[in-house]
Amino acid sequence: MNEILIALVLHYTTQDNLDLDLICRDVKAEKLTVDQAQQMLDAQNEKLNGYEIQIDEICVYTESECHALKEKHSTATMRVAIPACVKLGFDRYE
Residue-wise pLDDT for 65-78, tens only, equals: 656 655 665 444 32
Q: Which residue type occupies 74?
A: S
Put simply, whether the predicted model's pTM sits higher than 0.75 gets the answer no
Domain count, the chain: 1
Cβ-contact 82, 2 below 8 angstroms: no
Which residues form the domain of 29? Answer: 4-93
36, 45, 41, 50: which is closest to 10 by C-alpha? 41
DSSP state at residue 26:
-
CB burial of residue 27 (10 Å; 0-12, 13-18, 19+): middle
- How many residues are listed for the chain in this entry? 94
Low-confidence ranges of the chain (pLDDT < 70): 1-34, 37-38, 40-94
Alpha-carbon torsion, ordered 81, 79, 73, 63, to 10 deg? -40
pLDDT at 3: 43
